[in-house]
């Protein structure tokens, strides 16, 4: 029996919080057998579990709506703590630490090392049996109090209703991703659900459903991630202060485990998860790297074993476990490959030497390493297009102890595969798969014989390859065919043992006598006649077992391979210029690779492109194409739900942010985009570039509406239109302000250069158009780090002569950072500024006199940019809000500004730095650009409940302090608001 653990109040009896016991079968197959008349002894053997299993509590993070984690607590579906029985059951591990393996028994560690306690089998078997049990109605007495981890099934993230937003800002959508990390495919069939990293957030993206789910918990940018074999458990790690390792359940989105202070000095640079999904291997990111092995299902905060590497080994940035042995893994840098073996004796490693003199050939830099699927060998790809074969070098009759020593691994062969650099190397089922800088994906058998090649002329350097879990439906499959295959009177005969521990089951070949070999499943010869398989309908228990073991949804998927008819394989190299895959080997190879590869896969490239490759239709579908360089410029349309995004690579894209659909794009090859701005009517989109050029584009087609201007002396940093669409002003890195004017020529209006002026001697922080109080004419101001607020006389300016109207010093010691027009909340008009001392100041718009100095938001860094949120006709004009960004956060402030710290809030948006801020025309969304992390985030503004929350916090603050009106009347003039 499994019990949930709730926190009890000190003044309440335990009986008031008692839970119903959950009857959780440790093996759903055993429960099914019991229902079909299996013996009671067998059922008891499977169902036995100690009643105090809930005492073993896993101290994971508490999930909060703000995306943060609280140490020492556990995520749950209730407001408290839960036990780990559901999690351990999902991992196929009972509370006694025994292993559930069917047939061959437990797979122990290497012979020389004793087996650690608590070893478990793959979570795939347990999780799939959970789903099968759930779908067949065998709930074993579970009720609504069960954990979401236990109840979770694939796809449930996008089936849940949108919950009420309690925070002022909530992450709604993310554009862009970290192209240096892998992109994983989570679901099969026609569904395209991707998992990738955007800054400090893990994004689960349903491409066809146009939905996203965000896993938030890291405060630093995620540096590495790994996914279990069954795509359920996702481990992420980051680098920076308070670095974390978080293990997520991708089915429910719950962080089931958080490891604090794993590598407190430098964070994590590489992470891997074992084939049984129980162990994690991490490598720190410091100069002296530390390698640790973790049992993440254990509540301990310390690694099972660890060791330090010498700096001469190079920066180890890749690590992977041996699929056949969770106690062995390998890592590599560009110059050194290291083999590890761990157990009760600790963590041992060996670093075999390899240079160009070893084989008298150029080796190149190492990219990735893998273990061979059939032998004790390991392979490493290099930048010279070669594979290094590592093998155990030992005497003819080696002892068991010598066979497991990592020091015995040496380079035995250097196999030239191609001329292009290898960027990806992986093992999938019975194939060795490579990806290179030319965008080619090649499949080899165990003897490194080329089987199939997929290529496309528009695919860049490959960064990762992720295969679907099950083959797609055969194109020739039909209901009639499916019926004929299951309506035979012949019995289903299974011989041998079904190995639940088998990770990647393969039907290697169909032999002449009609038996299917290589998977532990054999069919009698009278079932196979003429290449067709006839069998009667399987029982529910047997079919669920076969379905789980072979990871298929149809009987036809088990028998899609062609019998071997030729004794000698013929290799025919063909190169496809149309992007279609090229079959280079007929029949099946010696390793049993089928003639036609039946697994779709996802490609991600170094130039931020993700493609879906359908092997049955032999085509490449572009799933995502994002910016491959820094995103520094965003702008929102003033009348429609459109956002323009510009990057340093010259890519300009326009999205409909409510429907999250891509509309139009344009690539500028000459320079990168530095700033963007729509005109007040939404007709034009102005773009400033890194080479000082200015483009004025049509807002719909992105075509140039006039010639290019290049009058700026350096990269353009700011650009803005006047309210009447008569002027356009820019600021550049050379401290100059340039003004363009719209004039009438030949019966039509066009833009021309008016004048420019080097009006500051330090970087310009803001340029701002406004409206004169006594007329409708525009006024222009600029604010620089030289503490000067400069106003220009546009009416008196002429060709090549920009007139300065006023020059005022707004600070004495502090440095002003941003500027905005303060909304008309009183009879007096103000200009709002913020400086690097966390102060906000209000200046009279006419006299430039400082009227009020107040404390601004204090969230680790000063305000970098501020914007007044627009209002709609249905909103109260006296209720205004200010959006702002700091170095790494985005926040909201309730106006009027009065120094009350409870009237502002902020959230981490881009840990590596925020480059730009924009708000929608109706004030419902705020957008942030992340600069070097190449992402743009859409934040939904939720103001419905914020005033209530603010009032509660403010009242609590008043009770906890002594109110001194004589000393606080200028700093806290918000007493009337609370009363």
DSSP type of residue 116: P
* Sign of the alpha-carbon dihedral angle for 164, 168, 174, 177: negative
Residues of the chain with pLDDT under 50: 1-86, 94-145, 396-403, 475-595, 952, 956-979
DSSP type of residue 406: G
- Could you write out the DSSP letters of every residue in 253-292? TEEEEEEESSSTTT-EEEEEE-TTS-EEEEEE-SSS-EEE
* Sign of the alpha-carbon dihedral angle for 560, 565, 567, 568: negative
Q: How buried is 511 (Cβ within 10 angstroms: 0-12 exposed, 13-18 middle, 19+ buried)?
A: middle
Q: How big is the CA angle at 885 (ends 976 and 698), to the nearest 5 degrees? A: 115
pLDDT in tens, 43-59: 444 444 333 333 333 33
Residue 214 C-beta-side C-alpha neighbours within 13 Å: 23
d(CA 505, CA 499): 9
Query: Quick one: which of 676, 594, 688 has its CA closest to 636?
Result: 676
Q: What is the pLDDT of residue 408?
A: 82
Q: H/E/C letters for each residue in 532-592? A: EECCCCCCHHHHHHHHHHHCCCCHHHHCCCCCCCCCCCCECCCCCCCCCCEECECCCCCCC
Q: How buried is 868 (Cβ within 10 angstroms: 0-12 exposed, 13-18 middle, 19+ buried)?
A: middle
**Hey, which residues does 211 pair with through a beta bridge?**
206
Q: What is the pLDDT of residue 398?
A: 47
23: Cβ contacts below 8 Å, ≥ 6 apart:
1, 2, 140, 141, 142
With H, G, I as helix, E, B as strand and everything else as coil, classify residue 127: helix
Q: What is the pLDDT of residue 471?
A: 64
Query: Quick one: which of 823, 836, 973, 834 has its CA closest to 895?
Result: 823
With H, G, I as helix, E, B as strand and everything else as coil, classify residue 907: strand
Provide the Cα torsion 594, 597, 603, 605; round to 10°: 60
* Sign of the alpha-carbon dihedral angle for 563, 565, 569, 570: negative
d(CA 939, CA 906): 12
Q: What is the pLDDT of residue 164?
A: 57
Q: What is the pLDDT of residue 189?
A: 63
DSSP type of residue 931: B
For 40, list phi and psi in degrees, rounded to 5: -70, -30
Q: What is the pLDDT of residue 753?
A: 95
H/E run at residue 373: none
- Could you write out the DSSP letters of every residue in 703-739? -BSS--B---SS-EEEEEE-TTSSEEEEEETTS-EEE
Query: Quick one: which of 336, 262, 243, 242 has its CA closest to 306?
Result: 262
Report pTM.
Answer: 0.75
Query: Quick one: which of 822, 887, 840 has its CA closest to 861?
Result: 887
Q: H/E/C letters for each residue in 300-332? A: CCCCCEEEECCHHHCCCCEEEEECCEEEEEEEE
d(CA 428, CA 67): 35
* Conformation bin of residue 379: beta by default, left when phi > 0, alpha when psi is -120 to 50: beta
H/E run at residue 108: none
With H, G, I as helix, E, B as strand and everything else as coil, classify residue 815: coil
Q: What is the pLDDT of residue 456?
A: 85
* Conformation bin of residue 224: beta by default, left when phi > 0, alpha when psi is -120 to 50: beta
Q: What is the pLDDT of residue 733?
A: 96
304: Cα separation from own chain's centroid: 28
472 contacts 614 by C-beta, under 8 angstroms: yes
532: Cβ contacts below 8 Å, ≥ 6 apart:
485
- Could you write out the DSSP letters of every residue in 424-483? EEEEETTEEEEEETTS-EEEE-TT--EEEEE--TT---EEEEEE-SSPPPPTT--HHHHH
157 contacts 252 by C-beta, under 8 angstroms: yes
d(CA 420, CA 277): 34
251 contacts 286 by C-beta, under 8 angstroms: no
Total residues found in the chain within this entry: 979
Q: What is the pLDDT of residue 775?
A: 87
Query: Quick one: which of 769, 850, 785 has its CA closest to 818?
Result: 785
**Hey, which residues does 175 pair with through a beta bridge?**
936
For 156, list phi and psi in degrees, rounded to 5: -70, -20
Q: What is the pLDDT of residue 615?
A: 79
What's the Cα-to-Cα distance from 298 to each of 60, 85, 259, 302, 774, rounded to whole Å? 10, 12, 10, 10, 72
Q: How big is the CA angle at 665 (ends 660 and 667), to the nearest 5 degrees? A: 140
Q: What is the pLDDT of residue 146?
A: 58
């Amino acid at each position: 029996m499994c019990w949930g653990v709730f926190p009890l109040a000190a003044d309440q009896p335990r009986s008031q919080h008692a839970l119903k016991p959950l009857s959780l079968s440790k093996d759903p197959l055993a429960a099914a057998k019991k229902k079909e008349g299996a013996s009671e002894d067998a059922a008891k053997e499977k169902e036995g579990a100690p009643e105090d299993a809930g005492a073993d509590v896993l101290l994971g993070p508490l999930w909060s709506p703000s995306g943060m984690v609280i140490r020492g607590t556990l995520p749950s579906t209730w407001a408290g703590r839960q036990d780990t029985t559901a999690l351990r059951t999902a991992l196929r591990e009972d509370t006694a630490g025994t292993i559930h393996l069917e047939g061959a028994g437990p797979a122990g560690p290497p012979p020389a090392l004793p087996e650690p306690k608590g070893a478990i089998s793959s979570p795939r078997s347990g999780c799939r049996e959970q789903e099968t049990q759930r779908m067949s109605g065998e709930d074993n007495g579970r009720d609504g109090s069960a954990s979401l981890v236990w109840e979770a099934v694939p796809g449930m993230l996008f089936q849940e209703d949108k919950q009420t937003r309690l925070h002022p800002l909530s992450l709604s959508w993310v554009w862009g991703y970290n192209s240096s990390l892998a992109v994983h495919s989570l679901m099969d069939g026609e569904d395209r659900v991707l998992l990738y990293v955007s800054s400090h957030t893990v994004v689960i993206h349903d491409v066809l459903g146009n939905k996203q789910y965000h896993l938030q918990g890291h405060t630093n940018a995620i540096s590495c991630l790994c996914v279990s074999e069954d795509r359920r458990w996702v481990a992420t790690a980051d680098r920076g202060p308070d670095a974390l390792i978080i293990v997520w359940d991708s089915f429910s989105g719950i962080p089931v485990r958080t490891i604090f202070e794993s590598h407190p000095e430098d964070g994590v640079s590489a992470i891997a998860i074992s084939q049984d999904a129980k162990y994690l291997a991490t490598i720190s990111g410091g100069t002296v790297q530390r390698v640790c092995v973790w049992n993440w299902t254990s509540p301990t905060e310390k690694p099972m074993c660890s060791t330090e590497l010498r700096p001469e080994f190079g920066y180890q940035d890749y690590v992977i476990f041996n699929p056949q042995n969770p106690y062995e893994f390998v890592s590599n840098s560009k110059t050194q490959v290291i083999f590890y073996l761990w157990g009760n004796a600790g963590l041992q490693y060996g670093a075999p030497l390899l240079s160009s003199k070893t084989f008298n050939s150029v080796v190149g830099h190492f990219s990735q390493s893998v273990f061979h699927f059939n032998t004790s060998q390991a392979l490493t790809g290099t930048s010279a297009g070669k594979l290094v074969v590592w093998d155990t070098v030992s005497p003819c009759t080696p002892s068991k102890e010598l066979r497991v020593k990592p020091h015995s691994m040496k380079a035995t062969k250097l196999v030239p595969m191609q001329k292009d650099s290898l960027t990806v190397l992986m093992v999938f089922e019975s194939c060795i798969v490579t990806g290179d800088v030319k965008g080619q994906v090649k499949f080899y058998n165990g003897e490194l014989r080329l089987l199939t090649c997929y290529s496309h002329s528009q695919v860049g350097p490959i960064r990762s390859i992720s295969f679907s879990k099950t083959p797609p439906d055969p194109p020739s499959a039909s209901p009639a065919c499916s019926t004929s295959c299951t309506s035979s009177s012949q019995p289903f005969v299974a011989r041998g043992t079904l190995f639940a521990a088998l990770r990647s089951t393969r039907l290697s070949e169909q032999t002449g006598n009609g038996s299917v070999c290589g998977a532990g499943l054999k069919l009698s010869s009278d079932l196979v006649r003429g290449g067709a398989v006839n069998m009667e309908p399987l029982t529910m228990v047997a079919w669920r077992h076969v379905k789980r073991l072979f990871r298929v949804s149809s009987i036809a998927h088990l028998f899609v391979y062609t019998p071997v008819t030729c004794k000698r394989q013929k290799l025919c190299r063909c190169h496809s210029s149309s992007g279609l895959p090229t079959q280079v080997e007929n029949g099946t190879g010696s390793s049993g690779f089928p003639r036609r590869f039946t697994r779709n896969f996802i490609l991600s490239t170094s130039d931020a492109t993700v493609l879906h490759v359908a092997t049955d239709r032999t085509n490449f579908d572009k799933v995502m194409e994002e910016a491959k360089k820094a995103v520094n410029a965003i702008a929102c349309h003033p009348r429609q739900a459109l956002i323009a995004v510009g990057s340093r690579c010259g890519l300009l894209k326009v999205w409909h942010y409510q429907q999250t659909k891509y509309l139009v794009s344009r690539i500028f090859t000459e320079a990168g985009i530095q700033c963007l701005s729509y005109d007040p009517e939404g007709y034009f989109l102005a773009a400033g570039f890194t080479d000082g050029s200015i483009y004025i584009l049509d807002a719909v087609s992105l075509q140039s509406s006039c010639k290019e201007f290049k009058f700026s002396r350096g990269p353009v940093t700011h650009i803005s239109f006047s309210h009447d669409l008569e002027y356009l002003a820019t600021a550049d890195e050379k401290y100059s302000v340039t003004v363009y004017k719209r004039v009438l020529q030949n019966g039509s209006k066009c833009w021309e250069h008016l004048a420019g002026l080097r009006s500051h001697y330090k970087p310009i922080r803001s340029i701002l158009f406004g409206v004169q109080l006594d007329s409708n004419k525009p006024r222009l101001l600029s604010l620089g780090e030289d503490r000067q607020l400069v106003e220009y006389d546009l009416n008196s300016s002429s060709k090549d002569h920009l007139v300065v109207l006023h020059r005022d010093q707004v600070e004495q010691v502090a440095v002003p950072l941003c500027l905005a027009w303060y909304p008309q909340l009183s009879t007096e008009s103000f200009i709002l500024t913020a400086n690097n001392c966390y102060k906000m100041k209000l200046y009279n718009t006419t006299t430039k006199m400082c009227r009020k100095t107040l404390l601004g938001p204090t969230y680790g860094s000063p305000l970098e940019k501020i914007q007044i949120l627009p209002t709609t006709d249905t909103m109260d004009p006296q209720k205004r809000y200010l959006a702002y960004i700091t170095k790494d956060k985005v926040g909201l402030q309730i106006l009027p500004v009065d120094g009350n710290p409870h009237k502002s809030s902020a959230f981490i948006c881009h840990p590596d730095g925020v480059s730009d801020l924009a708000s929608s025309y109706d004030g419902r969304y705020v957008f942030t650009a992340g600069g070097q992390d190449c992402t743009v985030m859409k934040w939904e503004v939720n103001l419905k409940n914020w005033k209530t929350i603010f009032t509660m916090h403010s009242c609590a603050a008043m009770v906890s302090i002594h109110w001194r009106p004589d000393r606080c009347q200028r700093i806290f003039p918000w007493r009337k608001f609370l009363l």
